[in-house]
Each structure stands twice: as C-alpha cells, then as structure tokens.
Amino acid sequence: MIYLDWNATAPLRPAARSAWLAAQDTSWGNPSSVHGIGQRARAAIDGAKTAMARLLGCRGYELVLTSGGSEANALAIHAALSLDPQRNSIVASAIEHSSVLRNASARGALTVVGVDPVGRIDPAALAAACGPATALVCFQYANNEIGTLQEIPALIAAVRAVAPAALILLDAAQGAGKRPLHLGALGVDFASIAGHKFGAPLGAGLLYARTGLKVPPLIHGGRQQQDRRSGTEDVAGAVALAAALGDALHDSAQSEERCRNLLDSCFSTIAAELPEAAWIARAAPRLGHTLSLAHPGIDQTALVQRLDLAGIAVSTGAACMAARGEPSHVLRALGIASELARGAIRVSIGHQTTTSELDAFAAAYVREVRLMLR
Ligand SMILES: Cc1ncc(COP(=O)(O)O)c(C=O)c1O
C-alpha cells in the first residue's frame, strides 16, 4: 500500500517506538505513587516534558499531556470560557478544525471569520470580529486540508491591539513536528499539538498553556498535571511523544523541502495529462507536505475508493469528515465552486514518501480520472 495520507496520521517513527517500548519496560508504574516504581515513572514524564519544552521553546510545566489535538483544543476553549462569565464569546477562522469550531459553538457564542481564496486570515478582519465579550481567538498554524500557513505574528498583534484581555489559541496540530515552533516567543496563550501527526503513537498530544493561565480541568479526578487534567498519565506515550518530536524536528526543513519538490513534480506530471486538474491554494504560503488536488466532473469519494483498490491511500479531506461524507467546510470557505470541491482529494506526504510512490500515484490518478470522465 502506498500511504499518502500523512495529514490524517503519520506512521510511527522507529525512535518513538523504541522509546515507548523502553518506557513500558522500565517506567510502567503509576507516576502518582510514592514508592520508587512510581517515582521512576514520574521521572520519565518529567524528563519527557522537559525535553519537549526545550524543543518547543517553553517551560515543562506549561505543557499538559492530552489524548491529542481535539482534547487540547477542547481544554483551551473550556479554560478560556471559565475565566470571566462576562467574556463568553469565541472568534475563530472559518477553516479551523472541527474540534475548534464544534467545541466553541457548543460552549459559547461563536463568531466565524472568513478567509481569502487561498485560506489566509486577514488580521484586520480578525480584529474587527473581536469585542469586549471575546474570551478566546482561535486560528491554526497550518491547515490540514490545503496546508495554508497563517501569518501568526500579524494575527497576534491585530488581536492584542483591539482585545488585550482576549486569549489566543493556536491550533498547531499540523505545524508541530513539521516546522520549529518557539511557543514562548510566539506570544500565544494556548497551543494544541497532536503527536500522531509527526510519528508519535496515536493518543498522545499536548496543550501548551502559558505560565500564569488558570486551566480548570475538563476531566476531574485525582488532580494529576497540577489539577489541569485528571487521569493517570500515559507515561510511555509521553516518552514516545518527546522522542518523535525530537526526531521529526531534527531534519524537518530538509524533509519539507524534499516533500515540496516531490509534490510539485507530481502535480506537473498530472497537469500535463489532465489540463483541468487544479491545485487548490497553491499560491498560499503553505506546508510543503500537502497537495489539495481537484478535478471537475469527478466524485471524490469514488475516486478515493478507486485509488484504494489500486493500492494508494489518499483522503477526500479531514479524515474525521471524510468518514462522514460531509462536504469540506474548508473548501467552501475558500469559495471553491462546488463542482470542483466535489472532485477534490488531499494528498499528504512525509519523510518516508518516495519518488516512485508519487509516480505510481500520478499514473493511477490520471488513469482513474480518465475512466471516471468517460
Ligand atoms: C488542524 C487540526 N487540529 C486538530 C486536529 C485533531 O487532532 P486529533 O486527531 O489528535 O484529536 C487535527 C487532526 O486532524 C488537525 O488537523
């Protein structure tokens, strides 16, 4: 099987696998236990947090272990809305992940800010949406469907100028591990990280909450993690998360450049055969690992199934939405004509992807699209 769906989840990195196995063998205790076996587990968690803090430019106690990006987003939204009952509204861009949009609208009054045709948020539009009741402003580092990067410092400055009391959540699920992030210097209040996007095991993520912020728990219980998230910590998951992050960042710049070149040449091959093929949001500053590829007159779900039968795994968009067959809110927000959006698939790659895999994909894509257009 050729796996071209890395934005859904990335294969486990060998460094993360061996760190996980070693931690299961040596640090399997309950980190809250007073005895030595527990304290060994506690030391493993503390070591993992310290290592991740160094990699992310923050402090160890600013990191809360979560089950992934969705929980981190939910916890930040919950925390921001708990601070002041007068401030109960949330501003978010139209292309946020469903875990931001759905948690926000379930918990507060949500104002959605549109994006331009390549998915960029206008700082002035973001600022205009903020008001005295704004508790939290949410935007992402990079989009999971089209890869568009936001101009984070300009967005932060715009929000701080008009709403100094509002908190800022950066959903970095598609940025962490792919680009170096210095969360402390960036100046956001919260950031969400999903380890499985960069080769950590599924179920290991982080919420960064800057020093001084109160984070009341969504999960009550044994008051683990400074009473910000109860539940016995996943020690091996945390250790593997730290190993994956270090490994991913080690050569992230070269890896991204290589991915960018691979996708550029893959698209050129396809476009030479199918002149109506379109690369959505290609003109945006974007992560080099993502190609949002569309063709009019095609049913995206049928195409993904045909490619799957041909041994190639791609996606119609966000994995959670693809499973439900819902149209992409991201492509709608970009103003992509529905005829083209219906024919869009996401190709997302990573450091293990090879030229011959993408050659095989390009050939299969051209073949299947031609058959479907007959
Ligand atoms: C931008 C973005 N935010 C949040 C999430 C949710 O992360 P998780 O699947 O770890 O809950 C994802 C996952 O697809 C994502 O791409």
Number of domain units in the chain: 2
pLDDT of res. 317: 79
Rounded Cα gap, residues 263 and 211, in angstroms: 40
Cα 65 to ligand 1 centroid, rounded to whole Å = 15
Range(s) of the domain holding residue 345: 2-9+251-373
Q: What is the pTM of this model?
A: 0.97
Residues 331 and 284 in one domain: yes
Percentage of the chain with pLDDT > 70?
A: 98
Residues 205 and 316 in one domain: no
Contact 316 CB / ligand 1 (< 6 Å): no
Residues 202 and 269 in one domain: no
Residues 223 and 289 in one domain: no
Helix ranges (H only) for 221-328 are: 224-227, 235-250, 252-273, 300-309, 319-322
Q: Is the pLDDT of residue 324 over 90?
A: no
Active site amino acids = 320
> Which of residues 250, 270, 290 is at a domain's end?
250
Mean pLDDT of 106-113: 94
Residues 222 and 297 in one domain: no
Per-residue pLDDT reduced to its tens digit, 15-72? 999 999 999 999 999 999 999 999 999 999 999 999 999 999 999 999 999 999 999 9
Residues 67 and 199 in one domain: yes
Mean pLDDT of 166-175: 98
User: Which candidate, 225, 204, 230, 239, places its Cα nearest to that of 41?
Assistant: 239
User: Which candidate, 52, 45, 55, 50, places its Cα nearest to that of 23?
Assistant: 45
Percentage of the chain with pLDDT > 90?
A: 96
Residues 327 and 231 in one domain: no
Mean pLDDT of 85-103: 97
- How far apart, in Å, are the Cα atoms of 124 and each of 61, 117, 165? 34, 16, 18
> Where would I find the beta strands (DSSP E) of the chain?
2-3, 63-66, 89-93, 109-113, 134-140, 167-171, 190-194, 205-209, 278-279, 290-294, 312-313, 344-348
Sheet hosting strand 190-194, strand order edge to edge? 63-66, 205-209, 190-194, 167-171, 134-140, 89-93, 109-113
Contact 194 CB / ligand 1 (< 6 Å): yes
Q: Is the pLDDT of residue 355 over 90?
A: yes
> Which of residues 227, 250, 273 is at a domain's end?
250
Question: Which tokens is 9 given?
Answer: 């989840």
Q: Is the pLDDT of residue 323 over 70?
A: no
Residues 112 and 194 in one domain: yes
Residues 25 and 174 in one domain: yes
pLDDT of res. 105: 95
Terminal Cα distance for the chain, rounded: 27
Residues 179 and 224 in one domain: yes
Residues 242 and 256 in one domain: no
Range scoring the smallest mean pLDDT among 60-69, 240-249, 290-299, 309-318: 309-318
pLDDT of res. 24: 97
Contact 175 CB / ligand 1 (< 6 Å): no
Residues 311 and 285 in one domain: yes
Q: Provide the CATH number for the domain around residue 351.
A: 3.90.1150.10
